[in-house]
Each structure stands twice: as structure tokens, then as C-alpha cells.
Chains A and B, each alone.
Chain A
Amino acid sequence: AQRVTQPEKLLSVFKGAPVELKCNYSYSGSPELFWYVQYSRQRLQLLLRHISRESIKGFTADLNKGETSFHLKKPFAQEEDSAMYYCAFRGSTLGRLYFGRGTQLTVWP
């Protein structure tokens, strides 16, 4: 069955500390992986997609097909990174997105 697992519902770190938000997926084909972010009272917006292989706001994510993971990392967290982060995948370019339940990241000063 298609599934995205984000094991941490809540994650707190201090400013300047490294942060890693975990994501594992279950899908038989070759999915396209995404991280979406939702800042307080704002809409879901794309943070990263695995095919772009880019760093946005200092965040990176590497697709590990062997472990079926797409963890989101940032070496030095900032207070403005506090938000809800959703991992998602789709099986085709026009297909539905499958979301994880989200991880609420809080970065303390």
C-alpha cells in the first residue's frame, strides 16, 4: 500500500543546532518525493523536490531508494524554520500526492 511515514509528530531544537526530519515511504514504483512546509496561518508551499537536488533555505533532502527514505536536513536551524513540515510523494507527474501526517518543528532561541 502507498504510504508516507513521518515518525515524529513534534520536534524541538535550539537555534543553531542541526535538525533532521525523517520521512519513509512505501511504494512499489519510482515515486517523486517532495517536502512541503506550512508556516503559521499560511498555505502549504513546496520546499523541496528530490529531482531538483537543490538546497532551499539551507534545507537538503536526499532520496535513498534502498531505505525508501527522504529525510530533510539542515545543519543550523533558525527560529524562522519553525513550521509544519509534510513529506509527500506521487507515483506519476499528474497523480495524486500522498502525504505524511507532518512534523511540527519548533526552533527555540
Chain B
Amino acid sequence: EPEVTQTPSHQVTQMGQEVILRCVPISNHLYFYWYRQILGQKVEFLVSFYNNEISEKSEIFDDQFSVERPDGSNFTLKIRSTKLEDSAMYFCASQPITDFNIQYFGAGTRLSVL
């Protein structure tokens, strides 16, 4: 069964550094999402992406964040200058345009900012 793939599974970085989290959505899906979950808190929406542009973003998704689909398969989330409070599990999700249009989640990338 096709899956959303996220790499790396764990990323450790120093405060102020840039990080890029990578996602490979399921191949025939056209809608992509990033969510994050700070330890002990809810899963929170960051951004959705369709047709090479942002469809919706939350108040969390400020100028430090950006998303890109650099080729036909990858979907990336970049954090320009990481802060301690960016430490969280980041989930990518993708969704097809079919009758069964649900979001399928990746296993997540745990980001630790030191």
C-alpha cells in the first residue's frame, strides 16, 4: 500500500540554523499539508499546498516557514532560523481527488532544536 514518506525521522539542529524537512507524498495525490505536534500538545495545522501554491496557512506559519515542491515528487518544509519552540514532531499529509478524499499522514520528523 502506498505511503507518505518523511525524511529524516529525527533532525537535531542548533538554534538559528536552517532546516529542511522532506516529504514524498503518495504519487497520485494533489493536495499536501504540513502539521506539527509539540510534545504533549495537539496536532496543529501549518499549511496546505495545491497546484504549486499555498492554499491556506495558519498563524503559526510565519515568515520563518516556507514550503516548496521542487520536483514532481518531493514536498519540503523549510524553517529559516530555528527557535527552541520549533522543537516538535512535524507531519506531512497528502490527499487525492477521489471520492475517498482523506488525508494520509507520514510517520513524522522529530525536530529537536538545541
Chain A residues in the interface with B (C-beta under 8 A): 34, 36, 42-46, 49, 86, 88, 93-102
Contacts and interface: CB of A to CB of B under 8 A. Distances in A.
Range class of the B interface residue count: 20 to 34
B91 A95 contact: no
A46 B91 CA distance: 14
Contact of A44 (B50, B56, B58, B105): B105
The SS class assigned to the B binding surface is: strand
A43 B105 contact: yes
B102 A46 contact: yes
Nearest to A3: B42
Interface string B48-61: 10100001101000
Given A99-B42, A99-B43, A94 B106 contact: no
B45 interface: yes
Contact of B102 (A43, A49, A96, A102): A49
A93 B58 contact: no
A97 to B, nearest CB: 6
B43 A94 contact: no
Given A42-B107, A44-B105, A94-B55, 9 more contacts: A43-B4, A43-B108, A45-B105, A49-B102, A94-B50, A95-B56, A96-B48, A97-B43, A101-B41
